[in-house]
Amino acid sequence: MKETKPTPAGAKPPGSSIASRRRLPPALVLGAALVVVAGAAWAVFSYWASSQKKSEVLVFHLCIGADQKLCPNDATFVRNEGEDTLTKWAQRQCTGYKARRIIINDGPKDCGCSLADVTCSSE
């Protein structure tokens, strides 16, 4: 039978330092668990908040022409500056929105203008 030598006073038994290195402090384990729980909660909250978000819609009723006095009163006047007038105007007004829709109709006979509905939406 093998004889074991007694350990000197205050010395740790062999192998105990290796075991203590592998064991994580409870505060570290708790901190890591809190970070994981907080991350999961944030992911669930952000997913739920984005699905509950209502779409935002802006609608503009425009009159595109040369003289504002000839346009209907309920339309916003936009001076006709060429072929891309309405497209450029809509790009400026709809920045930050995902979708843009433009519907152009003929204006009143004496107006010499076009009427347009521009819709900007977040979806």
Strands 57-65 and 76-79, sheet pairing: parallel
What is the rounded CA–CA span in Å between residue 121 and residue 56?
A: 6
pLDDT for res 103: 94
| Spatial contact of 102 and 89, defined as CB atoms under 8 Å apart | no
Whole-Å CA distances, 107 to 3, 13, 102, 113, 118 = 109, 97, 15, 5, 15
What is the rounded CA–CA span in Å between residue 86 and residue 101?
A: 11
- Rg of the chain over Cα atoms, rounded to whole angstroms, equals 36
pLDDT for res 7: 62
pLDDT for res 5: 66
Single pTM value for the model: 0.54
Residues in a beta bridge with 61: 117
Report, as ranges of residue numbers, the positions in the chain whose pLDDT lies below 50.
none
pLDDT for res 79: 94
pLDDT for res 89: 93
Residues in the chain: 123
pLDDT for res 48: 74
pLDDT for res 47: 76
pLDDT for res 14: 58
| Spatial contact of 118 and 101, defined as CB atoms under 8 Å apart | yes
